[in-house]
Homo-oligomer: A and B are copies of this chain.
Amino acid sequence: MSVADRKAREKEALKALILKGAKKLFIEKGIEQTTIRNIADEIDYSVGTVYVYFKDKTAILHDLHSIGFQELGSYFQELFKIKDPMERLRKMGFAYIKFALENQEMYDLMFNLKAPMEFLEKSENEDWDEGAATFNRVKVTIEECINKGHFKGHNVEPLSFMVWSLVHGMCCLEIRQRTKGVKFSNPDTILFDGYNEYLKIIEKM
């Protein structure tokens, strides 16, 4: 192991440390309320150092958004053992909602905040690989459903987008306080009640 190798490892370690500190503060006090100075303080480095390892704030937010997709992946892990695509589709939406509710700041970062997309626009590879890969998992599952005779007369891609929008919409309204705003008769379970109506609809499809 050369010195250069060790240095490279140390660089990665400090980058990871910054991201870890950032994530901690994001969850503790919200992304908007967290400053670069906060992050630097949290890990006992100076502001300048943060900028040695990250071009700007959107770079931190983008890297953290990628970590979020890894975490969402772990929520999906079990799902692909399920052979029946309809059953998998049902459980997938459920897992998605569960992830969003248990990781609200991370979900917001992944699917709502502008920063990660702004970072992509500035960078070489403009593609949103994380989003595309996750969407593909829905698409593949729905394609299997169609191949098994479900969703007659439907098209894979727009149908997948519709399903994604449905669960995303619920999570988004919840996280951005629009469900608290509209007082539901059963506010604590509205997401799952809503998702249940969708399950009833696709039951016989």
Residues of chain A having any CB pair with chain B under 8 Å? 32, 111-114, 117, 120, 127-128, 131-132, 135, 153-155, 157-159, 161-162, 164-170, 172-173, 176-186, 190, 193-198, 200-202, 205
Contact = CB atoms under 8 A, between A and B. Distances in A.
25 contacts: A114-B176, A117-B177, A117-B180, A117-B181, A128-B178, A128-B181, A131-B182, A154-B200, A155-B197, A157-B185, A157-B193, A158-B190, A158-B194, A158-B197, A161-B170, A161-B194, A162-B194, A165-B165, A165-B166, A165-B168, A165-B169, A165-B170, A165-B172, A165-B194, A201-B201
Contacts of A201: 201-202, 205
Contacts of A186: 157
Q: State the main secondary structure of chain A at its contact with B.
A: helix
